[in-house]
Homo-oligomer: A and B are copies of this chain.
Amino acid sequence: MMVRKKIPEKSVERICRYREILLEYQSIGKEFIFSHELASEVRVSPAQVRRDLMYFHLKGVPQQGYRVSEFLYEIDDLIDPKEVQDVILIGVGNLGKAILSYFTHKRPKLSIVAAFDVDANKVDRVISGCECFHMRDLQKFTREREIKIAIITVPAQEAQAIANTLVESGIRGILNFSPVLLKVPADVYLECIDITTSLEKTVYFSRGRR
């Protein structure tokens, strides 16, 4: 079987954004898209778009561009898991709820199947369309359902302990929103969204403009 070239993070990120735009195009009935159209939507160069396209084999035609449906098919094939991926979320605070309601049915291949919290008001209820369990069942659930992906939205102090539990239970990837630089083994993929850093960056780069 042929091994697909490994795709760098940056490209995967851009490809996900392309999909967003392509879905929009599809929804308004446009059948074709040019590299420069996609590029201007995503704020990259047309050359960059075409370069990213080399990771999969999409044939565009000069004067016409790429067929949107075909483009989307290729992205799905490249990026999406083959089977539906079950994801869990830990920490049903404001942030957790935002993510839950946000993700419901966003992508057919991604499904947040359970949320966990310690708060009795949340446990055993459906919150933002997702069933919420007590934290004490986290490990059991993760193991039995063989969950590979988790989203952490708990306060800073608890984050590392939860990450540890998850790793122990066989998690392969963590999307972390808690304001802590988690430590996980090198073979567990860790994506961190650090809101403070983002704001600080915004402030920094906003100065010295005009």
Contacts and interface: CB of A to CB of B under 8 A. Distances in A.
B198 A175 contact: yes
Contacts of A12: 200-201, 204-205
B151 A173 contact: no
Given A12-B205, A94-B101, A181 B43 contact: yes
Number of copies: 2
A149 B110 contact: no
Interface of A: 9, 12-13, 16-17, 20-21, 41-43, 79-81, 85, 87, 93-95, 97-99, 101-103, 106-107, 110, 148-149, 151, 172-175, 179, 181, 187-189, 191, 193-207, 209-210
B102 A195 contact: yes
Nearest to A106: B196
Contacts of A102: 95, 179, 195-196
Nearest to A172: B206
Nearest to A20: B181
Given A79-B200, A189-B202, A197-B17, A210 B172 contact: yes
A207 to B, nearest CB: 6
